[in-house]
Amino acid sequence: MNNENNDTTHFGYETIASSAKADRVRAVFDSVASRYDIMNDLMSVGMHRFWKAYMLARTGLRPEQQALDVAGGTGDITAGLARQVGPRGHVFHTDINAAMLAVGSDRLLDKGLAANITSLVADAEALPFDTGSMHCVTIAFGLRNVTDKQQALHEMARVTRPGGRVLVLEFSRLVIKWLEPVYDAYSFKILPALGKLVADDADSYRYLAESIRMHPDQQTLKGMMEVAGLEDCRYHNLSGGVVALHVGYKY
């Protein structure tokens, strides 16, 4: 289901005005920012680290290049990109949510990686960068929260230079169908309970579970990347399709 081109869109299972989604999503991440990484470890039983490492292994980045991490949040992917481009390269760490960006900026500073990173608030649908300025653009677990996903993909493709690539890491559709009842029970019962226990916020984690179900499936997202002007698009299912990494190239 994809209503981004209409006056309404989805916020989890709720239908709302498209103009209201950014504020609703911002409120969710304002609430969970300080406990976001702890919850990631609990929710995925640490698997998010493997998924992110898999993504970083496919950036194609070399020293002295320039990269952009969209919806970079607490900075896990940004840190990996910064190490890949080295001290003479540069990485832009962006997020529409100032609270998440602040947590990420502090953690990147603590890791000694601030010298070649610029952190700034930026909207994925209107990226403040020149056309063809990035060797690689990444977005990890952020696209499903964007109001107009197609526009965001167009923007990511626009700022990617010829020979570069766009990588989208996101929750997707299970390919092991018999696991669906277990996955649903976990998503809609255990996950909100964990959110309540650890972050004192069950509703935000209920939204996150719903947003995963409303996100385009693997093949649909691949098609959206092609519409955005990316070529040789492909996806890799991880953990049985719980997560998928999509890669598209700019030629």
Separation CA 9–CA 215 (nearest Å): 12
Tens digit of each residue's pLDDT (9 = 90 or more) over 188-227: 998 888 888 877 788 888 888 899 899 999 999 999 999 9
pLDDT at 6 over 80: no
Which CATH class for the 8-176+205-249 domain? alpha beta
pLDDT at 52 over 70: yes
Helix (H) or strand (E) run with residue 139 in it: strand 134-140
Separation CA 226–CA 236 (nearest Å): 16
Helix (H) or strand (E) run with residue 31 in it: helix 18-32
pLDDT, residue 3, reads: 45
Average pLDDT in the chain: 91
Cα torsion 34, 139, 147, 124: sign:
positive
Residue 67 near residue 89, CB atoms below 8 Å: yes
Say what the pTM is: 0.89
Boundaries of every domain in the chain:
8-176+205-249
Separation CA 111–CA 131 (nearest Å): 30
Amino acid code (one letter) for 115: A
pLDDT, residue 43, reads: 79
pLDDT, residue 2, reads: 46
Separation CA 36–CA 31 (nearest Å): 9
Share above pLDDT 90 across residues of the chain, in percent, rounded to a whole number: 69
Mean pLDDT of the region 102-130: 96
Amino acid code (one letter) for 210: E
Label residue 20 by pLDDT band (50, 70, 90).
confident
pLDDT, residue 54, reads: 98
Mean pLDDT of the region 161-169: 98
pLDDT at 5 over 70: no
Contact residues for 45 (Cβ-Cβ < 8 A; gap 6+): none
